[in-house]
Structure 1
Amino acid sequence: MKIGLRILLGYFLIVGLAAWFLLNVFVEEVKPGVRSTLEDTLRETAQLLAEVVAADLRDGNSEASLQATMGGVARRELDYRITITDAQGIVRFDSENKHVGQDYSQWNDIYRTLRGQYGARMTRDDPADERSVVMYVAAPVRDGQRLIGVLTVAKPISSVQAIVERSQRRMLRYGAVLLGLSLLIGAAVTWRMAYRVGKLMDYVEAVLAGRKAVLPTLGSSEISTLGRAMDAMRAKLEGKEYVETLMHTLAHELKSPIAAIQASAELLEEDMSVEERRHFLANIQGQNARQRQLIDKLLALVRVEKQQGLEAAEVVDVTALLQDVAGDFRARAAERELTLDTTAAGQLRVHGDPLLLRQAIGNLLDNAISFAPPHSVVCMAAQRRDAAVDITVSDSGAGVPDYAEQRIFERFYSLPRPDGAKSTGLGLPFVREVAALHGGSVQVANAEQGGCRATLRLPAQPVS
């Protein structure tokens, strides 16, 4: 499971549980809260009515007087139920005219109030119906300090159930909206974090695969700090390993020309003819030139190998580029009695470093000239293929032997030239690094009609 999904699920679990707990508490608190308010209202109503009926109950005129009072209440269309009992708990008045004369002395509201305590109860009218609960709140009726009766005000809980349910629905609705907003915010934050982590992982995978990779822009978060630390560590590790490998291979490659120079110098100390002396001096100069060429090409390869991205990129006209490369090697081709043929199909452009591309194509053309037989044609061509530009350099030489197909891009690996000259073995590795910097690739293979064909494929730049 990806880290972004893990973070989102963890966030959803925490927020969801917290929201469920809070909503559950709030929703459950609505009902007792409304009931508590209802009880306070009934208590105040009972106390008020108890004071109103106290005189009539003392004089024994409770029924007529209370009928008038309750008529006033009825006209207000309140769904209260009011009962009045005497000091013995016998019902003297019932707003529903159902229980007059009955003994209510054992009901909790009457029982406690007659003993000077706060009396209240909740009872179902229908034992099988939970929604038939009625709340009863009693208040003492006094004649001065003497308790002469109890007035009870009752109200069905169902009368406020609509308020409770509406409040619960509103809480659930707003809670769901808040939960949704929280999840959206969490998803946005998680996506942003996962996006940066994903970019960093792509960079790490590219490094592990040995590809060219530039540390992506990661903002100013801890992930960016981690990325910069990884990039710095990578540079140090790669630099140390690269230097060790470079020094080893350079020392190995320089042994041969140094040994040849030393041998020629020792022979020059002996007596020899002028012609022999010229031969050994030419050998020293040739080996020295080979060392210089080896060092120059190695330094150029080192620069592109350590370079992770293009520093001076621009739109390059491929046709003009091929003409420039052909101009650089026209004299050498004429020296070997070769003809250079350059063709480009249409207006082709790529985005890259013109100097590096010129050097890379030049290396391919230099190899083709070295292996092409005299009086033959070396061809350079460019054409659009899908979203890429293919630049091919082909010759009619002997081609690449089977044993060398997998090694031609190795550093310092070279095949013997027809004229016996030995190359540095750094040209094709340089081309491969330049292709990677440009997001392209290079391939060298034998052509069907004979000879060798090198193909440099680069992403095409749209032509406006």
Structure 2
Amino acid sequence: MPLGVRIFLVYFLFVGLAGWFVLSTVMDEIRPGVRQSTEETLVDTANLLAEIIRDDLKAGSLAQGRLPELLQAYGQRRPQAQIWGVDKTRVNHRIYVTDERGIVLLDSSGAAVGADYSRWNDVYLTLRGEYGARSTRENPGDPDSSVMYVAAPVLDGERIIGVVSVAKPNRTLQPYIERSQQRLGWLGGGLVGLGLLIGGLLSWWLSASLRQLTRYAQAVSAGQRAQVPALHGGELAQLAAALERMRSELEGKAYVERYVHTLTHELKSPLAAVRGAAELLDGEMPSEQRRRFVANIDQESARMQQLIERLLNLAQVEQRQGLEERVAVPLRALLEERLQAQAARIQAAGLQLDNRIAAELAVRGERFLLRQALTNLLDNALDFSPPGGLIRLAAEVRDGQVELRLFNQAEAIPDYALGRLCERFYSLPRPASGRKSTGLGLNFVEEVAQLHGGALHIGNVEGGVEVSLSLPRA
């Protein structure tokens, strides 16, 4: 299972459990919270009424006063109020008054006048000087039919002469409870969903960053060019920088060791030839033979110089992870410049040139590397073209890439050599001299092509050999 998925599952489990626990706890607290708030209001109402009816109750004229009429009018009121999205169309309080013995003197519902309520907790506890409240079901089998009663004493000095009870059905509170639970459910669910979305994005970002680092490490271990991923965020950016430093140090060490071995191996032959010629020159010999050995020393010295220069150029390209510049380079003008540099050699061999590249066609890349690569391709074509042979240049655009084709008349490349032409130090004998080159030219061209995001292909065609070099179009 991917690390990002595991992180998300752990995060999902934690957020889900935490969200469920918090929501369920808050949901459970809504109902008692609403009822507690309502009870506090009922306490205030009961105490207010106790003060209002005190004088009438003390005088024994409660039933003859205006309170019964007012309570009846109160029960008939239609508030038409909208409270937090809930319509309130009728009043729900029930108010009754008992004397000091618990006998009901006044009832806003008119149902309990004369009844003995002295054993009901609201009246019983209040008459004892305690806080009187009760919750009683109107229908014993229906938990939603409960009614909350809160009482307040009617005092004559320090003596309790009666009790006022105010009642409110709990079912009238249910719409507010349900609305609060619904809103809280949506809000809580939205927050949990948002938390999971953020967790998913964080897990995806972390997983994607780790995948980039993994692909980078795999590419480096496979010897491929790879750009260190640009990561943001403390430790990941530090890890990417550490991997890049490690790659540079390891590649640098291995690269130096490989090139030292390669250079040592390749220099053995020309050094041996130079040393042998120098030993022979130390003795007496004819002037013609001496000139031949001196020429041999000069030739081998030039060969060593060329080998070192090409190795340095190749090392510079191989160590790069990207281009230093990306500019538009006119292809025809660059090739004409390279052909002009080889004009004497072309004229001496009587070669025919056919440049079919459009003047406006341009590639995008690093001019210096492109010049070096085209120089190597032309050198190779000139080396294998017979006197009076044809060299043809053409280019076309395909899928956003410029495909340069360089044809030269020559003998077909042997099948065994076709797949090895771009190997380092692999070379075929030149037709004119029979000698091999350093074997670094085509390898250099291939490295330059890959650095530009292109490719190099070499194959036999009718009448000769064609090299195809693809580069990004400007």
1:276-335 deviation line (CA, Å, top 9, x unaligned): 222222111111111111001111111111122222331111111221222222322333
Contact 2:455 2:470 in 1 (8 A): yes
Give TM-score scaled by structure 1 length.
Answer: 0.88
| Equivalent AA in structure 2 for residue 430 of structure 1 | F
1:262-285 deviation line (CA, Å, top 9, x unaligned): 111222233322222222221111
Provide the residue aligned with 2:167 in structure 1.
Answer: 154
- Quote the Cα distance in structure 2 between the aligned partners of 1:206 and 1:104: 90
| Equivalent AA in structure 2 for residue 258 of structure 1 | L
- Quote the Cα distance in structure 2 between the aligned partners of 1:268 and 1:167: 109
Provide the residue aligned with 1:442 in structure 2.
Answer: 456
Moved more, 172-181 or 234-243: 172-181
- Quote the Cα distance in structure 2 between the aligned partners of 1:309 and 1:182: 40
Contact 2:122 2:132 in 1 (8 A): yes
Q: Summarize the alignment of residues 203-222 of structure 1 with structure 2, pairs less than 5 Å apart.
A: 203-219=216-232, 221-222=234-235
Q: Summarize the alignment of residues 246-285 of structure 1 with structure 2, pairs less than 5 Å apart.
A: 246-285=259-298
CA root-mean-square deviation: 3.0
Alpha carbons of structure 1 residues 51 and 354: separation in structure 2 relative to 1, 3 Å: closer
Provide the residue aligned with 1:70 in structure 2.
Answer: 71
Provide the residue aligned with 2:110 in structure 1.
Answer: 97
Contact 1:211 1:436 in 2 (8 A): no
Matched, 1:47 2:60: no
| Equivalent AA in structure 2 for residue 146 of structure 1 | R
Alpha carbons of structure 1 residues 220 and 99: separation in structure 2 relative to 1, 3 Å: closer
Provide the residue aligned with 1:323 in structure 2.
Answer: 336
Provide the residue aligned with 2:324 in structure 1.
Answer: 311
Alpha carbons of structure 1 residues 197 and 292: separation in structure 2 relative to 1, 3 Å: same
- Quote the Cα distance in structure 2 between the aligned partners of 1:358 and 1:211: 24
Aligned with 1:425 (options 418, 424, 439): 439
Q: Per the alignment, in what secondary structure is the counterpart of residue 454 of structure 1? A: strand
- Quote the Cα distance in structure 2 between the aligned partners of 1:440 and 1:204: 23
Alpha carbons of structure 1 residues 312 and 47: separation in structure 2 relative to 1, 3 Å: closer
Provide the residue aligned with 1:225 in structure 2.
Answer: 238
Contact 1:388 1:458 in 2 (8 A): yes
- Quote the Cα distance in structure 2 between the aligned partners of 1:70 and 1:334: 125
Q: Per the alignment, in what secondary structure is the counterpart of residue 109 of structure 2? A: coil
Moved more, 167-176 or 339-348: 167-176
Q: Summarize the alignment of residues 293-308 of structure 1 with structure 2, pairs less than 5 Å apart.
A: 293-308=306-321
Q: Per the alignment, in what secondary structure is the counterpart of residue 150 of structure 2? A: strand
Alpha carbons of structure 1 residues 440 and 142: separation in structure 2 relative to 1, 3 Å: same
Matched, 1:106 2:126: no
| Equivalent AA in structure 1 for residue 46 of structure 2 | A
- Quote the Cα distance in structure 1 between the aligned partners of 2:49 and 2:39: 15
Q: Per the alignment, in what secondary structure is the counterpart of residue 95 of structure 2? A: strand
Alpha carbons of structure 1 residues 318 and 232: separation in structure 2 relative to 1, 3 Å: same
Matched, 1:352 2:365: yes
1:369-397 deviation line (CA, Å, top 9, x unaligned): 22223322122222222311111222232
Aligned with 2:348 (options 335, 339, 342): 335
1:149-188 deviation line (CA, Å, top 9, x unaligned): 3321101123333333344444445556656666676677
Give TM-score scaled by structure 2 length.
Answer: 0.86
- Quote the Cα distance in structure 2 between the aligned partners of 1:184 and 1:229: 31
Contact 2:401 2:473 in 1 (8 A): yes
Q: Summarize the alignment of residues 168-179 of structure 1 with structure 2, pairs less than 5 Å apart.
A: 168-175=181-188
Report the number of matched residues.
Answer: 460
- Quote the Cα distance in structure 1 between the aligned partners of 2:13 and 2:344: 74
Contact 1:119 1:137 in 2 (8 A): yes
Shift in Å, 1:228 = 1.9
Shift in Å, 1:342 = 2.0
Contact 2:395 2:405 in 1 (8 A): yes
| Equivalent AA in structure 2 for residue 301 of structure 1 | L
Moved more, 313-322 or 139-148: 139-148
- Quote the Cα distance in structure 2 between the aligned partners of 1:339 and 1:69: 122
Shift in Å, 1:145 = 2.9
Alpha carbons of structure 1 residues 453 and 273: separation in structure 2 relative to 1, 3 Å: same
Provide the residue aligned with 2:85 in structure 1.
Answer: none
- Quote the Cα distance in structure 1 between the aligned partners of 2:8 and 2:427: 55
Matched, 1:86 2:99: yes
Provide the residue aligned with 2:82 in structure 1.
Answer: none
Shift in Å, 1:59 = 4.7
Matched, 1:30 2:38: no
Contact 1:326 1:340 in 2 (8 A): no
Q: Per the alignment, in what secondary structure is the counterpart of residue 64 of structure 1? A: coil
Q: Per the alignment, in what secondary structure is the counterpart of residue 342 of structure 2? A: helix
Contact 2:148 2:169 in 1 (8 A): yes
Moved more, 21-30 or 363-372: 21-30
Q: Per the alignment, in what secondary structure is the counterpart of residue 379 of structure 1? A: strand
Moved more, 80-89 or 183-192: 183-192
Shift in Å, 1:103 = 3.1
Contact 1:322 1:380 in 2 (8 A): no
Q: Per the alignment, in what secondary structure is the counterpart of residue 335 of structure 1? A: helix
1:433-454 deviation line (CA, Å, top 9, x unaligned): 111121111111222x143221
Q: Per the alignment, in what secondary structure is the counterpart of residue 79 of structure 1? A: coil
Shift in Å, 1:458 = 0.5
Q: Per the alignment, in what secondary structure is the counterpart of residue 63 of structure 2? A: helix
- Quote the Cα distance in structure 2 between the aligned partners of 1:353 and 1:235: 23
Alpha carbons of structure 1 residues 180 and 420: separation in structure 2 relative to 1, 3 Å: same
Q: Percent identity?
A: 49
1:190-230 deviation line (CA, Å, top 9, x unaligned): 67666665655554454344333333544574333222222
Q: Per the alignment, in what secondary structure is the counterpart of residue 344 of structure 1? A: coil
- Quote the Cα distance in structure 2 between the aligned partners of 1:384 and 1:19: 59
| Equivalent AA in structure 1 for residue 456 of structure 2 | V
1:20-43 deviation line (CA, Å, top 9, x unaligned): 544444444333222112111111
Contact 2:365 2:472 in 1 (8 A): no
Q: Summarize the alignment of residues 189-200 of structure 1 with structure 2, pairs less than 5 Å apart.
A: 200=213
- Quote the Cα distance in structure 1 between the aligned partners of 2:237 and 2:341: 45
